[in-house]
């Protein structure tokens, strides 16, 4: 454990972690669970049924439906495709209101199919879309709202859905982070017209790449099923515009292996969350994003806000990276400041103060089964050490920045 300023890698000491710690290191089965997965993959090969709604995909879907309480779960190859298909199946047109503070996929999925994302500001406490900021963005061209349950903490669905009902808008949730989360005892996957989960490698349950759309609307489910498979309603009969968003059998087998470890992964994530909480409590200038412990949570993201801490978020990030801790600036700089949206310079761009503040202050820290509470303690000791020597750290960072600029000029 590093205790002295001179122990920091920034000061020339060895990095705390020679094997880097990542945000989103995949949770993978080990031991007997790994053998089981490899046997499943062998059976898939023996069956020669690799995709197009095979038995593993069907099993994965029925487990997701059972765990969420949704009537239908449709497995897809990733959440980005899932969002595109859901938006089309719900007949979204024109403008769709989305949070500016989210992963770029939320906005890109809509733009990719010709819709216009309109960015709403975030709630400073939950970091998800602020329902109070939605109404002023509604125009005659608005057809829906795609809201995100950021960090797995479901957003204020009641307020969003009341507003949507008043204006006749569709609601889809980008639930990429929220598998296994509940709001007021009701699981994510059962809200809005449809919800879309991600099972990307970096998510707490992964299918290598993957996702699922859930809905309790039978007709919508049938349309979604057709749309993920080119619009086919039967052999040779295409009933809708469709794409290829199907999940493979190998991905479903990996997803099922993840579901079998789900409680164990949540326990590991929770232990890390508690370790971060204990070690960062009372540290001025940092606030750990708090989960509602009365609800079901997956704790897959550990999120720190760095404000008036003596060092900026980016300075702290530089310290952590020098120690082999690959913390991430999710979701800097905000979707509205990324292309093609930045150049479009829409009217709402000037008025996203909470998003701007979060984009400048949020740091996602490593967790998951590849990170132990002891490593969390080490990460937090480095954060404390850096912040308690903020002036020296800042000047050291400034001098190494100017040195590398000089080197670049000399080269």
Q: What angle do CA 352, 80, 301 make, to 5 degrees?
A: 65
User: Is 84 one of the binding residues for ligand T4K (CB under 6 A)?
Assistant: no
Q: Which is nearer to ligand T4K, 107 or 386 (CB)?
A: 107
- Bridge partner list, 302: 365
User: Is 24 one of the binding residues for ligand T4K (CB under 6 A)?
Assistant: yes
User: Is 151 one of the binding residues for ligand T4K (CB under 6 A)?
Assistant: no
Q: Which is nearer to ligand T4K, 25 or 63 (CB)?
A: 25
Least distance to ligand T4K from the beta carbon of 399, Å?
Answer: 28
**How many CB atoms neighbour CB 208 within 10 A?**
17
Q: Which is nearer to ligand T4K, 202 or 243 (CB)?
A: 202
Q: Which is nearer to ligand T4K, 200 or 396 (CB)?
A: 200
User: Is 358 one of the binding residues for ligand T4K (CB under 6 A)?
Assistant: no
Binding segment toward ligand T4K, per CB under 6 A, in 30-38, 73-81, 281-289, 292-300 = 73-81
User: Is 198 one of the binding residues for ligand T4K (CB under 6 A)?
Assistant: yes
Least distance to ligand T4K from the beta carbon of 409, Å?
Answer: 30
Binding segment toward ligand T4K, per CB under 6 A, in 54-62, 132-140, 292-300, 325-333 = 325-333
Q: Which of 17, 60, 101, 103 binds ligand T4K (CB under 6 A)?
A: 103
Q: Which of 78, 84, 133, 375 binds ligand T4K (CB under 6 A)?
A: 78
Q: Which of 13, 15, 26, 260 binds ligand T4K (CB under 6 A)?
A: 26
**Contact characters 254-273, ligand T4K, x per CB under 6 A:** --------------------
362 near 303, Cβ under 8 Å? yes
Q: Which is nearer to ligand T4K, 329 or 384 (CB)?
A: 329
Q: Which of 116, 121, 174, 195 binds ligand T4K (CB under 6 A)?
A: 174
Least distance to ligand T4K from the beta carbon of 320, Å?
Answer: 12
Closest CA to 177 of 262, 102, 258, 99: 102
**Contact characters 211-250, ligand T4K, x per CB under 6 A:** x---------------------------------------
User: Is 127 one of the binding residues for ligand T4K (CB under 6 A)?
Assistant: no
User: 3-class secondary structure for the chain?
Assistant: CCCCHHHCHHHCCCCCCCCCEECCCCCCCCHHHHHHHHHHHHHHHHHCCCCCCCHHHHHHHHHHHHHHCCCEEEEECCHHHHHHHHHHHCCCCCEEEEECCCCHHHHHHHHHCCCEEEEECECCCCCCECHHHCHHHCCCCEEEEEEECHHHCCCCHHHHHHHHHHHCCEEEEECCCCCCCEECCEECCCCCCEEEEECCCCCCCCCCCCEEEEECCHHHHHHHHHHCECCEEECCEECCCCCECCCCHHHHHHHHHHHHCHHHHHHHHHHHHHHHHHHHCCCCCEEECCCCCCCCCCCCCEEEEECCCCCCHHHHHHHHHHCCEECECCCCCCHHHCCCHHHHCCHHHHHCHHHHHHHHHEEEECCCCCCCHHHHHHHHHHHHHHHHCHHHHHHHHHHHHHHHHHHHHHC
Q: Which of 80, 133, 215, 367 binds ligand T4K (CB under 6 A)?
A: 80
User: Is 368 one of the binding residues for ligand T4K (CB under 6 A)?
Assistant: no
Least distance to ligand T4K from the beta carbon of 341, Å?
Answer: 16
Q: Which is nearer to ligand T4K, 104 or 222 (CB)?
A: 104
Least distance to ligand T4K from the beta carbon of 387, Å?
Answer: 23
**How many whole angstroms separate alpha carbon 270 and alpha carbon 175?**
20
Q: Which is nearer to ligand T4K, 109 or 383 (CB)?
A: 109
**How many whole angstroms separate alpha carbon 298 and alpha carbon 91?**
31
Least distance to ligand T4K from the beta carbon of 210, Å?
Answer: 7
Residues that bind ligand T4K (CB under 6 A): 22-26, 78-80, 102-103, 105-106, 148, 174, 176-177, 198, 200-202, 211, 326, 328, 330
């Amino acid at each position: 454990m590093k205790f002295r300023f001179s122990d920091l890698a920034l000061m020339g000491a060895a990095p705390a972690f020679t094997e880097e710690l990542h945000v989103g290191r995949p949770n993978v089965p080990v031991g007997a669970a790994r053998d089981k997965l490899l046997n499943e993959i062998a059976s898939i090969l023996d069956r020669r049924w690799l995709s197009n709604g095979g038995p593993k995909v069907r099993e994965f879907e029925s487990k997701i439906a059972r765990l969420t309480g949704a009537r239908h779960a449709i497995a897809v190859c990733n959440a980005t495709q899932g969002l595109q298909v859901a938006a089309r199946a719900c007949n979204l047109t024109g403008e769709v209101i989305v949070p500016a503070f989210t992963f770029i996929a939320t906005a890109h999925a809509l733009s990719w199919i010709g819709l216009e994302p309109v960015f709403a500001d975030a709630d400073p406490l939950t970091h998800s879309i602020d329902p109070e900021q939605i109404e002023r963005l509604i125009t005659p061209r608005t057809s829906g709202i795609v809201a995100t349950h950021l960090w797995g903490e479901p957003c204020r669905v009641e307020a969003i859905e009341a507003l949507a009902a008043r204006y006749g808008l569709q609601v889809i949730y980008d639930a990429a982070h929220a598998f296994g989360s509940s709001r007021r005892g009701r699981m994510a996957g059962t809200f809005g017209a449809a919800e879309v989960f991600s099972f990307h490698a970096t998510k707490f349950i992964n299918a290598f790449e993957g996702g699922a759309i859930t809905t309790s609307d039978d007709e919508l489910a049938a349309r979604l099923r057709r749309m993920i498979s080119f619009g086919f309603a039967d052999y040779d009969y295409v009933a809708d515009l469709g794409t290829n968003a199907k999940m493979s059998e190998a991905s479903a087998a990996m997803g099922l292996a993840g579901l079998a470890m789900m409680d164990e992964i949540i326990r590991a994530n929770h232990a890390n969350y508690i370790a971060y909480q204990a070690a960062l409590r009372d540290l001025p200038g940092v606030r750990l994003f708090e989960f509602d412990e009365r609800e079901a949570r997956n704790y897959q993201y550990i999120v720190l806000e760095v404000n008036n801490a003596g060092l900026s978020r980016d300075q702290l990030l530089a310290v952590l990276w020098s120690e082999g801790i690959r913390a991430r600036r999710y979701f800097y700089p905000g979707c509205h400041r990324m292309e093609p949206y930045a150049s479009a310079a829409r009217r709402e761009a000037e008025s996203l103060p909470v998003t701007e503040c979060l984009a400048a202050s949020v740091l996602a820290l490593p967790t998951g089964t590849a990170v132990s509470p002891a490593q969390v303690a080490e990460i937090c000791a480095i954060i404390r050490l850096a912040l308690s020597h903020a002036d020296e750290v800042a000047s050291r960072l400034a001098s190494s920045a100017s040195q590398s600029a000089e080197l670049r000029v000399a080269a």
